[in-house]
Chain A
Amino acid sequence: MSAPTPFHLATAITAWRASLASSPALHGDSLDELESHLRSSIPSLIASGLSDEEAFLIASRRIGPIKAVQHEFAKVNESAVWASRASWMLAGVLLMQVLLPLSDLAMFLASVVAKHFIAIRSLRQIVPMAAIFGLEAVLVITAMRVLRSRCSDLTKLVRNLMTRPVLAAIGLFILIAAAGELGRHFYRVERFEPASFPEYPSIPETYQYLRVFVLNLVTGVRPFHSGRFVAAAMCFIPQLALATAIAILGRRELAQSKAFN
């Protein structure tokens, strides 16, 4: 039989504050205020003969269930909630930009494998498609798992990055640029420009054409022909803008939480 773990008031308060902080509606100022309230109500409970643990439980219960408190704060602090949502959405768009060239790479590798090892022509066309869908399925399942286990190392990493928004934005930007270059290096997307689009395209060609079309829509510029370097640089402008937007949103949230400290 193991002895019950001793109760530490300071640790309990820190943990309580951390679980409240999981909502973007509660920034540092509100957390300070609620913690101050909790700390104010504990001494009189202890003086009335309760143990530290009992006093903590009653005081935190009086403040209310964490979910309910977060819900009430979200009602009056909508802009903070939306700022947080928007920064996650932008991060999602940026991540897509990393994944698109990577999936191009997967498609390329799969088509090489198919060319060498599969004799039946129609099967050869299916393999790259299957590779893409497989990759996407794996990514979606991984993302769902990460989201479900909220305290995973990855979410901790994201939270830490959010406290250094400029660094995070620069890092993401470099990652995107690197992934984009890698994708382009391995798989020459310019083959599927609208003008050279084959009259009777195969399924992978159609799929690839649509992919390039979306890629062009997202990045705005096609960096393949004249003025290649200028165009390539311009191609990153939307991504840089997104990264900057994330940095600004992150900074604003930081400024809010630091305002009273």
Chain B
Amino acid sequence: MISKELVAASTVPLVLAMLGRGESYGYELTRQIQEMSEGQIAWSEGMLYPVLHWMEQQGLIESEWRVEQARKRKYYRIRADGKKALKQQREHWKALNSLLEQLCQPQRHSI
């Protein structure tokens, strides 16, 4: 199970990436993450919404209420700034990941 801190730090890029594939609503986003991470990421589902609202405030995403099958749902869509942020975040995560991998390589002893 991935730690709470790491999940919190990665929520924004994960949400941006999912919305980059197409618009979606909160319930679907949590389901997708849970399925794709094969249960590795378990979060309190309610915590996703403050993050979504913060992202909306920052202009990364936008939202719209729709009624579907007699149920009100708030759909989120990625904006241009969000795409930019996603690109940047991916680079940061890649950099961190490659650093971690390099450090985990067996050290070559030079004599």
Chain A contacts to B: CB under 8 angstroms:
29-30, 32-34, 36-37, 39-41, 62-65, 68-69, 72-73, 75-77, 260
B72 to chain A, nearest CB (A): 6
Any A CB within 8 A of the CB of B100: no
A144 to chain B, nearest CB (A): 32
Q: Which residues of A contact B50 (CB under 8 A)?
A: 72-73, 75-77
Any A CB within 8 A of the CB of B57: yes
Within 8 A of A (CB), among B39-54: 44-47, 49-51, 53-54
Any A CB within 8 A of the CB of B74: yes
Any A CB within 8 A of the CB of B93: no
Task: For A69, give the chain B residue with the smallest CB separation.
Answer: B46
Contact A63:B71 (CB < 8 A) given known A33-B26, A41-B27: no
Closest 9 CB pairs of A and B: A64-B44, A69-B46, A63-B46, A64-B46, A40-B27, A76-B54, A72-B50, A76-B50, A37-B27
Q: Which residues of A contact B79 (CB under 8 A)?
A: none
Distance between Cα atoms of A45 and B74 in the complex (Å): 22
| A contact face: mostly helix, strand, loop, or mixed | helix
B65 to chain A, nearest CB (A): 5
Contact A34:B46 (CB < 8 A) given known A76-B54, A77-B53, A260-B65: yes
Q: A34-B49, A63-B45, A73-B49 are in contact. List 14 more A-B contacts (CB 8 A).
A: A29-B74, A30-B49, A32-B72, A32-B74, A33-B49, A36-B71, A37-B26, A39-B71, A64-B45, A64-B46, A64-B47, A69-B44, A69-B47, A76-B50
Instruction: Give 28 A-B contacts (CB < 8 Å), ordered by A residue.
Output: A30-B49, A32-B72, A33-B49, A36-B25, A36-B26, A37-B26, A37-B46, A37-B49, A39-B71, A40-B71, A41-B45, A62-B44, A63-B45, A63-B46, A64-B44, A64-B46, A65-B44, A69-B44, A69-B46, A72-B46, A72-B47, A72-B50, A73-B50, A75-B50, A76-B53, A76-B54, A76-B57, A77-B50
A3 to chain B, nearest CB (A): 33
Distance between Cα atoms of A76 and B87 in the complex (Å): 24
Task: For B52, give the chain A residue with the smallest CB separation.
Answer: A33
Distance between Cα atoms of A64 and B72 in the complex (Å): 21
Any A CB within 8 A of the CB of B83: no
